[in-house]
Amino acid sequence: MRDNLYADSLNKVKDFTFDESVVEVFPDMIQRSVPGYSTMVSAIGKLAQQFQQPNSAVYDLGCSLGAATLSMRKYIDKPNCKIIALDNSVPMVERCRNNIKAYKSDVEVIVDLADILEVELQPCSFVVMNFTLQFIEPELRSVVLSKIHNALLPGGAFVMSEKLKWDDSKIHDAINNLHLDFKRANGYSELEISQKRSAIENVMKIDTEQTHLARLQQAGFSSQSIWYQCFNFASFIAIKA
């Protein structure tokens, strides 16, 4: 279904939530809003293939409808390596379960309704947070990264995709304008773009590349870098020694 949630002028733009109406249009919304999304999702499967270990979990934190889980499931082939996908939105989890069930696979996938801030992580070899840390309160982000680092087995990897900002406002605006043009080219009107911006500004707080890299290092990762970037959307990889 096409995302036209902000197509009509709204009296009051409410804060964005991952409710039933968003879930219905989610694949179209993310595809038309995030440049490079498909490339990132399919490469995440290949990264999971590289880092998976037998008898370990692979996590998809903030799984939404399971795009990253489905991509990883194609490539997981180590014995007793299972995927645990979790999200704290009830309609997302319900639909995600159906999506996963729709295709057959020998890889075990568990889809849990859970909050990343509260869940206890099992020993894992690969963790992905694809565009999800940005919805966690900034002062809690370090706690989440430390929890992931602690749960990862030696040699395990964490992949995190995020929208970026720049401290230099000229650079920020130049790159942000490329993203706005991407949304216009994908059919979003100026009204849709501005109402969506108002809806999301209180719930999605973005960081610079430097903040992300410093936070990953502080959490204990031994190596960290951007592995993919399209305009202001980047994906990082961090490896546990």
**Which residues make up the interface to ligand GEK (CB under 6 A)?**
18, 30, 41, 62-64, 67-68, 87-89, 92, 115-117, 130-132, 135-136
Alpha-carbon separation of residue 64 from 39, 170, 233 (angstroms): 17, 33, 18
Which is closer to ligand GEK, CB of 75 or CB of 135?
135
CA–CA gap between residue 147 and residue 203 (Å, rounded): 22
The residue with tokens 């546990």 is 240
CB of 166 to ligand GEK, least distance (A): 19
Q: How far is the CB of 170 from ligand GEK (least distance, A)?
A: 26
Q: Closest residue to ligand GEK, Cβ-based?
A: 62
Q: Which amino acid is at 202?
A: N
Q: Whole-number minimum distance, CB 222 to ligand GEK, in Å?
A: 25
> Shortest approach of ligand GEK to residue 238 CB, angstroms?
17
For 110-142, letters b (16+ CB in 10 Å) and e give: ebeebebeebebeebbbbbbbbbbbbbeeeebe
Query: Which of 93/154 has CB closer to ligand GEK?
Result: 93
Q: Nearer to ligand GEK by C-beta: 146 or 154?
A: 146
